Amino acid sequence: MSTQAFERTRLRTARELAGLSQAQLAREAGLTPAAISQFESGAARPSPDTVSTLGEVLAVPTDFLHQTMIETHEGFFRSLRRTSVIDRRRARAIAHVAHDLAVHAASTDKFHSSDVPMIPASGLDAGAAEIERTAAQVRSLWDIPSGPVSNVVGLLEAHGIAVIRLPLDSAGVDAFSLPFPDHPVVVLGTDKNDRARSRFDSAHELAHLVLHGEQIWGVKEVETQAHQFAAAFLMPADEIHDQLPTTVDWPTLFGLKRHWQVSLAALLMRARTLGRMSDSTYLTAIKTASARGWRRVEPVPLGQPEEPTKLLDYLASPESGPARDLLPSRVVKSIETASATA
């Protein structure tokens, strides 16, 4: 018997993990949709017996529904139209469980508190120069040596960000992040085969946490800023400017891809942004790459993507026992499986 009160936001999370609507849950638990809605809004409180029933139907420990929960906004999702609402909510609920794991891991000294700098963008129309400066500032605050970031995922974890890979049954959801103040969560997509893309995605989500935090989200300008930040963070202008070719010089671009561990597409875009390549040269390069099928699969593969390790290490340790008792085991298992290196 838990001493803590029923936490209404946990019910919503558990329901979204199961992919059920309020009406579906009501049917399976033998309740009315109005009752579920009132439990979730806080207008009514379920009896202990009802909490047990809800726990059983949703396959979560009863204690899960009693833990306090830190709320945050809906999350930085890309391509909202491509993802169904159910998939997106389910992915967000999984990120909440990842946050729970990070909190538990931190309580056993297996995880650092976040020291992600908050440097909010001045607005939706913040210029590229401002975003470049912010990216350089984060590199400097975190003492990142010049040159390529050796492991972006490892860097985020070292600064208290919980990183997981999304379980495969949520395919179709791109990378996203949730800006919890203690341990922000970055969720990487299910695409396991592209190291360059995975690094860029991680830097893009870091951008949201630094630039946008709890504030603005879900609009195109915010996504553009996150892309600008990621490019500047992974390829600092003062270091890469003179290395970038002014012509469509593939051998040089291949070498830069290997060195900076970013995609050819990102390098070409960087060459254009920094004024090394004219628009017409850039377009010629993109057309050539399309004709050769490189927009789908690029040459010069970089090997396995970076994988998160911190939460997996915690889950592999005996200290994770209490957390496992409180959290839905099916979800924890799916996080473990999805995030583990193949």
Q: How far is the CB of 69 from Zn ion (least distance, A)?
A: 24
C-beta neighbour count of 97 within 10 angstroms: 23
> Looking at 10-18, 77-85, 254-262, 326-334, which segment touches Zn ion (CB under 5 A)?
77-85
d(CA 292, CA 280): 18
Given the complex with Zn ion, which of 105 and 203 has the nearer CB atom? 203
Look up residue 211 and give its DSSP letter: I
> Looking at 79-87, 220-228, 238-246, 297-305, which segment touches Zn ion (CB under 5 A)?
220-228
Pattern 223-242, Zn ion, x by CB under 5 A? x--x----------------
> Looking at 218-226, 241-249, 260-268, 313-321, which segment touches Zn ion (CB under 5 A)?
218-226
Q: How far is the CB of 205 from Zn ion (least distance, A)?
A: 7
Do residues 208 and 179 lie in contact, with contact meaning Cβ atoms separated by under 8 Å?
yes
Pattern 92-131, Zn ion, x by CB under 5 A? ----------------------------------------
**Structure tokens given for 225:** 């800023």
Reference 337, options 319, 318, 316; nearest CA is 316
Q: Which residues pair with 176 in a beta bridge?
A: 187
Sequence-ordered alpha helix ranges (H) in the chain:
8-18, 22-29, 33-41, 48-58, 85-107, 128-141, 152-158, 195-207, 220-234, 237-240, 250-260, 264-273, 279-291, 310-316, 321-326, 329-339
Question: Residue 76 interacts with Zn ion (CB under 5 A)?
Answer: yes
Given the complex with Zn ion, which of 35 and 222 has the nearer CB atom? 222
Reference 311, options 61, 40, 95, 25; nearest CA is 95
Given the complex with Zn ion, which of 185 and 226 has the nearer CB atom? 226
Phi, psi of 172 (to 5 degrees): 100, -20
The site that binds Zn ion (CB under 5 A) totals a number of residues, namely 4
Reference 229, options 152, 305, 143, 308; nearest CA is 152
> Looking at 76-84, 102-110, 151-159, 229-237, which segment touches Zn ion (CB under 5 A)?
76-84
Q: How far is the CB of 78 from Zn ion (least distance, A)?
A: 5
> Looking at 78-86, 96-104, 253-261, 293-301, which segment touches Zn ion (CB under 5 A)?
78-86
Given the complex with Zn ion, which of 223 and 306 has the nearer CB atom? 223
Q: How far is the CB of 219 from Zn ion (least distance, A)?
A: 10
Q: How far is the CB of 164 from Zn ion (least distance, A)?
A: 17
Contacts to Zn ion by CB under 5 A: 76, 78, 223, 226
